[in-house]
Amino acid sequence: MYGEKIFLINREDLNKIDNINELEISDYWMFDEKYVLPIKYEKDGRFIEMQGPITENIEKYIHTKNKLLPLAKDYKEFIKENNIKLKYLKF
């Protein structure tokens, strides 16, 4: 809609990445490789909070993005492939 690109990755696919434990970051939103909003979750996956924005020293976020992006799927593709039913969004 406004040029945003949203990608998702299955947790199982993370095992396909060498040295995955070196990536200190779990989930975040990145804007134009300039702004990062880290997202924190409970161990059971429930959302806690969104932090940030971080504007300095975001190289580790860019590194993580570059490492994960080859395994990620476009949001719409991910929803369809995983047969996820969304109550309010229709594609």
CA distance 17 to 10: 12
Helix (H, G, I), strand (E, B) or coil at 28: strand
Q: How many CB atoms lie within 10 A of CB 37?
A: 15
pTM for this model (two decimals): 0.68
pLDDT in tens, the chain (91 residues): 466 788 888 877 777 777 665 656 678 888 899 999 989 888 887 889 998 899 988 888 898 888 888 888 988 888 888 888 777 665 5
